[in-house]
Amino acid sequence: MSAALTDLARIDAVLGAAAERFDTPSYVYLTDLIEDRLADLQQAFGRWFALSYAVKSNPNPGLLDWLRERIDYLDISSGGEFTLAARAGWQAERISFTGPAKRRDELQAVIAADLGELVIESLREARLANEIAAASGRRQIVVVRLSPDRVPKGFGDHMAGRPSPFGIDIEEAPDALAEIAAMPHLRLAGLHIYSGTQSLKPAAICENWRIFMQIFRDTCAALDLRPEKLIFGSGLGIPYHPGDQALNLSEIAAEIGPELDAFRAEPRFADTRLVLELGRHLVGEAGFFVTRVISVKESRGSRIAICDGGLNANLAASGNFGMVLRRNYVMHRVGGDDGGARPEEKLDISGPLCTSIDKLGGAVLLPRVEEGDLIAIHSCGAYGPSASPVYFISHPLPREVLSLGGQLIDVTRIRGENA
């Protein structure tokens, strides 16, 4: 689904039209690219897994509404995301709730709404949920998140294998699970592991899933649990930077498939639904951040394009969203090189803010860029406006546009006085 392998002329027509109609900076989400990714996931993993979308990656209500008939489950990480999902038409029974610091009011709201599964991350949370469910005369379905003691190398972020706020350490799991299973107003329906994110290494992903399966085997045997649901945190990454190699899902399926078949054939898991939870891998490459060049200047031997959107609108592309060393995202000038009329040259790209860290690209090789041109940054469909300091210095807020069947729909969620 990488834009480098698709028709950039067609994409540019959509991006240009969105910028003309809705202004910039803007995020444009191409639903046909998400459809392609869903088809790839179904072909590679459909025989084993249902799919769950992690709302944290992109909570846009228009996108959530569009996904409602196309994916099995949602995973939310706050009461606010639950409200967004409900307003987008999602039934509570199709939603799970993950997160390490769930508040009493959030738990009261989702339990009252008949949440599908509450993902328990600590004994404190289990005890509080049991108390709330008892007070309302309910029995809440839960799955317990486990934290493995190791994560293979090859993941952009490790959420286990070290001191972590996420889940119950497997060293502590036997006693904790026994206590949770005995709580009268909770029904233990399964287990959940999400220990590493943003991997582009098939071998690491397969090894991680092997760890999951062994933990699930051992834990379920110890509890004599025949789980209704086991949730695999996918860890599937996307290419952000020049030179990144996109994942080949068929390669992953070919390697891990026989082991998944053997796992499903075990009597304990014969009726278990396996769920693959993913976020950026589904929607990330379908989103483009479009920013307009306001000014071009020469400074001490460098040519600099200064744009109307920077880290305020796209923190991740600026390199300030967890990157250790800043690397350019893949990007292009909308319209390309005008049929060869614009030779390539190196360009620094900055945003509109009064800070030196507001940089979207350094020494980027692009067709010559002039004032008024549009620059499109790839792989921006996840962790966009909702993960950016959009109110910093009070520049215009980014718009969000859904490209749907030839139509452009304004689905901007975060609006201000200037929107």
CB 116 within 8 A of CB 93: yes
Q: Mind telling me the catalytic residues?
A: 354
Strands (E), 58-185: 73-76, 95-97, 117-120, 140-147, 157-158, 168-169
d(CA 49, CA 334) in angstroms, rounded, equals 38
- Measured in whole angstroms, the distance separating CA 65 from the mean position of its chain's CA atoms is 16
Helix, strand, coil in percent for the chain, rounding step 5: 35, 25, 40
Rounded-to-integer distance, Cα 276 and Cα 41, Å: 10
Ranges of H-type helices in 266-386: 280-283
How many C-beta atoms surround the C-beta of residue 38 within 10 A?
A: 16
Cα separation values, 95 from 191, 223, 417, Å:
15, 25, 33
Whether the CB-CB separation of 111 and 186 falls below 8 Å is answered with no
Q: What angle do CA 405, 93, 35 make, to 5 degrees?
A: 20
